[in-house]
Amino acid sequence: MFNELRTQATAILHSTGATVNERLQELCDLLKETVPHYDWVGFYFKNGNKEELKLGPYAGAPTDHTIIPFGKGICGQVALSNQNFVVPDVKAQDNYIACSITVKAEIVIPLFINGENIGQIDIDSNTPDPFTDEDERFLEYINSEVAKIYTI
């Protein structure tokens, strides 16, 4: 599944007929529709010079958390740590921002441009403990491709 998705995602991200936001939207829709354990897929980006994240394109239920201060929740922690954060069970996390009561697990992968952490891809799952190394490698690849087209 992920090999074919890499090809499709790469084609979407480098399609010149659409804006970057349109391409990211199409990518979020594709990932949510294709991967059974991806129930919400979205991008957060650093909000200008502020120490906060701002919600970008996403697929899934609307969220109230359109702005997340650095340090808050899983997303805010990744903004500071620069590390992948895989959460098999969100109930076991103290510093977690709940978006929906159906969510059981979450994965957040930072997005770097020239070594700078400028955002992240965030995925929620309604399946407990669904994420493996394969998800991490796949999402790192996605972010590296996004980094080639995104301008801060």
Q: Does 75 bind ligand SME (CB under 6 A)?
A: yes
Candidates 2, 6, 29, 65: give the one binding ligand SME (CB under 6 A).
65
Q: Does 57 bind ligand SME (CB under 6 A)?
A: no
Q: Does 28 bind ligand SME (CB under 6 A)?
A: no
Q: How many CB atoms lie within 10 A of CB 129?
A: 13
In the beta sheet, which residues pair with residue 111?
119
Tokens of 46: 């650093």
Q: Does 39 bind ligand SME (CB under 6 A)?
A: no
Q: How many residues bind ligand SME (CB under 6 A)?
A: 15
* Contacts (Cβ under 8 Å, ≥6 apart) of 53: 44, 45, 46, 47, 67, 68, 69, 70, 75, 76, 79, 119, 120
Q: Does 6 bind ligand SME (CB under 6 A)?
A: no
d(CA 104, CA 125): 6
Q: Does 63 bind ligand SME (CB under 6 A)?
A: yes
Residues that bind ligand SME (CB under 6 A): 40, 42, 63, 65, 68, 73-76, 96-97, 99, 106, 122, 124
